[in-house]
Structure 1
Amino acid sequence: MRDRLDFSLEDGRLGLYHKSRREIVDLQTCAQLSPELQEWLTEFRKIQWPFTKGSIRLRVGPQGQRGVWLDFANVDIKTLLDEKSILQSLQEKAFVEIGQRRKVPVWTGNEYKLRDPELHVWFQTWMKDRPVDLYCQVASFTQPSLKANKIICDVINGWIGSFPQSRIIEFGSGIGNLTLPALAAAESLTACEIDELSLEGLQKTLENLPPSLQSLREKIQIHRGDFQKKLTKDFSQFDGVLANPPRSGLMNFLNPLEELSEGQRPPFFIYMSCFPESMVKDLERLQKCGYSLEEFYIVDQFPQTAHFEVLGLLQRKKT
């Protein structure tokens, strides 16, 4: 069941692109949606848009709150701000974000102005059986399903828990969805991420942890940078690597690992991906570094499609 829906508007049709034709198939219902998200979609489809094209994300948060991200051309955003009534109606139902910069429309009494992005609880991670709220934007990257995410978090927590007192380096921490399950079982964690807004969400999540979890903040360090191009961290300082890269894979992130001797490399490597093509290339490089695949999970978060989430645990062969 999906709690996040990404779709397109084209000539009055709201839906997804046809498999074999470059046109939008109008979708009134979708069997993959949670009941709450389907209800939100049904209401949203009643809007009559004053332009013909754009991208939209609908989201239902952990407490049932509704959000919408409208990613339209600048000229269409201006039309929307000037028209007023559509935004006013939307804001009565949901929290609204606009454009690639995730701006929030604010009514001044005479007109709409766009203010900076805001962080709210739009997703949830798990530390064993304890849910933890994650702060982000409606437009932030998250897993599509709150329920499926619990499975992923349990696997990550269990794998790291099988290597006691581990020092972890994480590539692609995002808003902290895997960071916190890993942190619950690790001795320490270094989180690496390029996106500034994602890291702002992770920071706010850490600041708002329940009192019983506040001590975890002392175990984490956060580094921002394009780690696909260059990583200044020495892998020999760590016992394990946790990676959830974009579709392009790990790229130059693995270079420092390859430069180490086999005995200096971290004993284990956890790799998660929804794009097996780049994952296979990275696993081939890791195999050459002395790692072998020990456990493998497939989480079918995208039923009726060719896509799926893959989790792999690799261990360095003992010399």
Structure 2
Amino acid sequence: MIFPEPQTLIPCPYENTCNGCQLLDKTYGEQVQLKTGELRGLLHDYGLTLPPQIEFLSAGAAYLRDRLDFSLQDGKLGLYGKGSHEIVDIEICAQLSPELQAWYKEFRKIKWPFTKGSIRLRVGPEGQRGVWLDFANVDIKTLLDEQSILKKLQEQAFVEIGQRRKVPVWNGEEFKLKDPELNVWFTTWMNKIPVNLYCHVASFTQPSLKANVFIADKISTWVNQHPNARLIEFGSGIGNLTLPALATAKSVLACEIDALSLEGLEQTVLMLPSELKKHREKLTIYRGDFQKKILQDFSQFDGVLANPPRSGLMGFLNPLEELTPSQRPPFFIYMSCFPESMAKDMQRLQSFGYEISELAILDQFPQSVHYEVLGLLQRK
């Protein structure tokens, strides 16, 4: 753990205008106390029994993000202002890793032929650069016809365009859009061994490569407390939690609704390092909308691993209600960056006979009010 000095304050020239960070006026020690106290108070309000300590994991007080979304508005590139629908034109950002800041500096030199759009910049594990241009169809056509911007951009980075994540390809006369392409944009860990995660620039990943080490380690540690566990996972995505769990579990059933994410997971498993290939046969992938309906028999599993969207687990928990206490999986691992929905789900899990045995905050978003929570619940 790289824990910053408690008195650390991060300077930002946009402190009074940009809405991206809300806690720049507080030292890092004050931020730790604020976030820990807020989580404890929230879970207490839901009637949850908490462990004596909430662990606080930190990879640093700033400069962590290897992925960030910006908005383009009337020639300005940045984030929304405080209490405003106007974009603050940002040249530097204390949230960005040095590699992403360098990429952002180059990207800002582009002069766009339209006024509005959303942009994701990303830096991969080996420093490779990516950009996702989420523009209106008419603006995408303008880019394809204009040609010079895309040509220049492709000299610097891998480019994806639109909601369908199409890749522009120059055929000698014009740009054509081909189907999405999987590349290595993130890393997870299996028993301390790094694993390349295949996905798209536009895919959901955790924001920080450096902080993700703590996530993989925590998942692996908790699963390892239950040797030979059979796991069911809700919201596997591209496999960031799946693979650390798979390293020590007897089996994992990974459930996910997004087909593109599952394509990435399948490619990752196919390309596992030779010393990890033995784990392939332990993974089963299942696609479906598990917030609404789950057909699996939870009594066949020893543990549940969940990293749901902001809306929480919803109908995924219904099968647990139908089981007797002894039939329910002995442990439940829950990860979320939205504590409110997590608290609501944990309240329901508590009514099923689970209690929180370990709780950790991972501070991936220093200077902001946001944070990631990891919880281990055990069946009484």
Partner of 1:288: 351
Match of 2:6 in 1: none
How many residue pairs match? The answer is: 317
Cα distance in structure 2, aligned partners of 1:277 and 1:259 = 25
Please list every run of 5 or more consecutive structure 1 residues that lacks an aligned counterpart in the other structure. none
Cα deviation for residue 259 of structure 1 reads 1.1
For the residue of structure 2 that corresponds to 1:185, the secondary structure is: coil
Is structure 2 residue 137 aligned with structure 1 residue 78? no
Amino acid at match of 1:264: Q
Alignment of 1:225-236 (within 5 A): 225-236=288-299
What do the CA deviations read for 1:205-245 (whole angstroms, capped 9, x no partner)? 00001111111111010000000000000000000000000
User: Counterpart in 2 of 1:217?
Assistant: 280
**TM-score (ref. length: structure 2):** 0.83
- Cα RMSD of the aligned pairs, angstroms, is 0.6
2:98 alignment partner in structure 1:
35
Q: Aligned letter for 1:53?
A: K
What is the SS of the residue equivalent to 1:117?
coil
1:101 aligns with 2:164: yes
Which residue identity lines up with residue 152 of structure 2 in the other structure?
S
Q: Distance in 2 between matches of 1:223 and 1:24?
A: 41
Which structure carries more relative contact order (alpha carbon 8 Å, separation 6+)?
2
Structure 2 residue ranges without an equivalent (≥5): 1-63
The one of 187, 193, 197 equivalent to 2:256 is 193
| Corresponding residue SS for 2:222 | helix
Runs of 4+ in 1 over 6 A off after TM superposition: none
CA distance in 2, matches of 1:124, 1:204: 13
- Cα deviation code 1:155-198 (max 9, x no counterpart): 00000001111000000000000000000010110000000000
The letter of the residue matching 1:108 is N
After TM superposition, the structure 1 = structure 2 runs for residues 83-94 of structure 1, keeping only pairs within 5 Å, are 83-94=146-157
Partner of residue 147, structure 1 = 210
TM-score by length of 1: 0.99
> Out of 114, 117, 120, which is 2:180 matched to?
117
Partner of 2:53: none
Q: How far apart are 1:23 and its partner, in Å?
A: 1.0
Q: Partner amino acid for 2:280?
A: R
Distance of 1:314 and 1:286 partners within structure 2: 8
Q: Which residue in the other structure is 2:201 paired with?
A: 138
What is the match of residue 221 of structure 2? 158
- Report SS of the residue matched to 1:170: strand
Q: CA deviation at 1:19?
A: 2.6
Matched, 1:252 2:315: yes
Q: Please, which of 237, 240, 251 is the counterpart of residue 177 of structure 1?
A: 240
What is the rounded CA distance, in whole Å, between the counterparts of 1:172 and 1:314 in structure 2?
18
Cα distance in structure 2, aligned partners of 1:307 and 1:188: 33
Report the Cα distance in structure 2 between the residues aligned to 1:209 and 1:6, rounded to whole angstroms.
29
Is the counterpart of residue 67 in structure 1 residue 130 in structure 2?
yes
Render the CA deviation track for 1:116-143: whole Å, top value 9, x for unaligned.
0000000000113211000000000000
**Given the alignment of the two structures, is residue 305 of structure 1 paired with residue 351 of structure 2, yes or no?**
no
1:168 matched to which residue of 2? 231
CA distance in 1: counterparts of 2:223 and 2:234, whole angstroms: 15
